[in-house]
Structure 1
Amino acid sequence: MTYRPVPAATLPDLSRLTLGVEEEYLLLHSGTGESLPVAGRVLDSLAQTARGQSRREFRHSMVEMVTPVSADLTELREQLIALREAAADAAEAAGARLVAVGATPVREPHRTVPDEPRYHAMSRRFGPVAHDPAVCGCHVHVGVPDRELAVQVCNNLRPWLPVVQAITANSPLHDGRDTGHASWRSMQLERWPSIGPTPYFDSLADYEATVADLINAGIMLDAAMVYWYARPSVAYPTVEVRVGDVCPTVDDTVLVAGMVRALVATAADDVRVGADTPRIRDCLVAAAHWRAAHDGLDGDLIDLRSGRARPAWELVDDLFATVAPALERHGDLPYVREQLNRVRRDGNGAARQRRILARTDGDVRAVLEHLAAETRPCPS
């Protein structure tokens, strides 16, 4: 489908987009690696400033930290460092380790939900699915205050979100073993009826009507349960990209945030000029996401522009080339290029975990110790 160009005079200035990041972390036992139900103690012991940037999550073994709105990656990096340090200190005071990993790596004995009406409603509606082991994501918010534009931007993001998913893959472990998937979190989340690839919508009215139909069908409790991989945020004037596992290091997160902002900016530019938006079949989009979750960056990904499998890094390079003008406009090009080269050399989170497993004869505790060290940043 080709959109008619959106008159620039009707839209806000999008020359430099704002950013915000939400990161979810697990609280693990330092010896066994099991999840610990101490989130309440951790949140209560945070310093006042950090507590205002924290959120209670769906498991007693999880905490979420939310950055303030930022305009540049240097500021975002400083915010993430401060929040991770505060959360790691509070976790250690509660007898746990703060670990940025996408899925419960060993075991979660305590799977009850926090005592909040919404969480109890979700538990009643979705049953055992609501009591799966905890999973942790990285959600990037990019300022797009026009909701009609936000819907069209999400359409344009669809071909590239599996590539973002592959870059962030950071959960190969489940039940103390390698699952064979780079992102087990992605596989676990497929059990939820309102999580998955973003559908294509003709307009904001189409989007809102679909959400209303899904609520009426009982698939969602309300509009806040739109958990698609990209969506117009319910709470903020942003496009929220929520496809990724939580990243192991601050620099991994800032890399993804920079790439996502540039991708949203590029998509918004395309919508403004009425560029063609391909109607990719939903089954092919779903297949591309499955392949990204399975292979990460160490195999092939599906190029949704052609429908063909290609080496993952070829598609990462294509994505970088596509968003390079927007990266340059935001001043992010040198940093993102440097960090992509680092990931090309060292691997994403899943690859780094597997490398430790290989050299320690499958010692999961060594992997978790490494992840805990990566989670707590070293300012530089």
Structure 2
Amino acid sequence: MTSAILGAGTPIGAGPGALTIGVEEEFLLLDPDTGANRPVAGEVVAALPDGMRAQGRLEVRRSMVEMVTGVCTELPDLRSQLVSLRRAAAGAADDLGVRLVALGATPVGESDPSVPDQPRYRAIADRFGPVAGDPAVCGLHVHVGIPDRELAVQVSNHLQVWLPVIRALTGNSPLFNGADTGHASWRSVQLLRWPGVAPTPWFDSAADYDRTVADLVVSGVLLDPAMVYWYARLSPTYPTVEIRVNDVCTDVDDTVLAAALVRAAVATALTDIAAGRPAARVRDCVLAGAHWRAARDGLTHTLIDLRLGQARPAWDLVNEFFATVSPALLHTGDLDLVVNGLARLRERGDGATRQRETYRRTGHLRAVLDDVAARTTQG
């Protein structure tokens, strides 16, 4: 995460158009012949163009790189940055004989489980053992600027009921060990081995949030506050709420759609807070179940309506989510983009559906990876 995603955010009296946004995308580095992960992330980051090297990041797996946008207020600017960063990273990877792909989970295998040679990553490997050697998974993290931490905690409470829907819109990791897992987002399931990954708990205040994080660090559950990987968290460094439920999207337009919806959900939460409307409280086990259902089926079956406590057709719930956030989308001028993006998803399916269709049509995993690699850098 760079200091570029510091966005000043907006006080509660300002319009949602003032909300800043920044995106982090994680990518896999694959062998172009076998599809297996290749541990060359350090070399890829070093090979980035001078103007973009500072926006490249290493992760706990040496077969993945993260690219980070700057602060944006307009989605066309965000999209332009995303395309440029993807193409730069793909070019650096290609020069090293590897393929950069936007996939949520390792499709074939991870032959080298070693972590980058940095003190924090070595400490993570020592603390968490084989979990730190799990095959790489790649997410899309959306930051929305909210400098008031008390307000940010309230926003996180309000987002709880909609985050499974946001997760379902970006399922893009059906493959693992060369086979279909039956899940739209295997990444979501795989990450649950980490103790810091979970639906965001309900907090009464920023002090309550900070005490909980401190307790988890003192107990040894987490190495440091940065290992809080709740689905919506207060950034430990920057004045943002960070939404972490999404798989990285193969198509850049799906990334922009997810970012638009996340920002609109945050803006809608701010409106509800200002109006004194309370957030719905959901039992932790029900919340976890709703996220599992979203990871399992994506948009193809049902999602759990956490307001009603019942399963409903996925697209019915997506439509209600859209209706809820549409005033915020209208305010920022993003309504048409989201309408068109949701229509595209309804017609073509999520990333997992598209991967399965390619596999059914060709019968070859290589064809799936070829298609994903090509679409990763399309503008």
Q: What TM-score bracket applies, with the shorter chain setting the length?
A: over 0.9
SS at 1:141 equivalent: strand
Aligned residues of 2:12 and 2:270 also touching (Cα < 8 A)? no
State the one-letter code of the partner of 1:298: T
Question: What is the Cα deviation at residue 272 of structure 1?
Answer: 1.6
Aligned residues of 2:16 and 2:328 also touching (Cα < 8 A)? no
Q: In the aligned structure 2, how far is the partner of 1:347 from the partner of 1:323?
A: 21
* Aligned match for 1:51, one of 37, 50, 53: 53
RMSD in angstroms over aligned alpha carbons? 1.2
* Aligned match for 1:142, one of 141, 144, 158: 144
Q: In the aligned structure 1, how far is the partner of 2:81 from the partner of 2:168?
A: 25
SS at 1:48 equivalent: coil
Aligned residues of 2:234 and 2:242 also touching (Cα < 8 A)? yes
Q: In the aligned structure 2, how far is the partner of 1:101 from the partner of 1:321?
A: 29
1:365 aligns with 2:361: no
Match of 1:38 in 2: 40
Aligned residues of 2:16 and 2:331 also touching (Cα < 8 A)? no
* Aligned match for 1:166, one of 165, 168, 189: 168
State the one-letter code of the partner of 1:338: N
Q: In the aligned structure 1, how far is the partner of 2:323 from the partner of 2:39?
A: 44
Moved more, 99-108 or 44-53: 44-53
Question: What is the Cα deviation at residue 358 of structure 1?
Answer: 1.1
Aligned residues of 2:41 and 2:65 also touching (Cα < 8 A)? yes
Give structure 1 stretches of 5+ with no counterpart.
1-7
SS at 1:269 equivalent: helix
Offset from partner CA, 1:166-193 (integer Å, 9 cap, x none): 0010000000000011100001001011
- 1:261-340 to 2 correspondence within 5 Å? 261-340=263-342
Aligned residues of 1:12 and 1:145 also touching (Cα < 8 A)? no
Question: What is the Cα deviation at residue 49 of structure 1?
Answer: 1.2
Question: What is the Cα deviation at residue 332 of structure 1?
Answer: 0.4
Q: In the aligned structure 2, how far is the partner of 1:122 from the partner of 1:131?
A: 10
Match of 1:18 in 2: 20
Q: In the aligned structure 2, how far is the partner of 1:169 from the partner of 1:15?
A: 28
Identical-pair percentage: 60
- 1:1-380 to 2 correspondence within 5 Å? 14-361=16-363, 363-378=364-379
The runs of at least 4 consecutive aligned structure 1 residues that moved more than 4 Å come to 8-15
Aligned residues of 2:17 and 2:73 also touching (Cα < 8 A)? no
Q: TM-score of the superposition, structure 2-length normalised? A: 0.96
SS at 2:193 equivalent: coil
Match of 1:3 in 2: none
Q: TM-score of the superposition, structure 1-length normalised? A: 0.95
Question: What is the Cα deviation at residue 16 of structure 1?
Answer: 2.0
State the one-letter code of the partner of 1:93: D
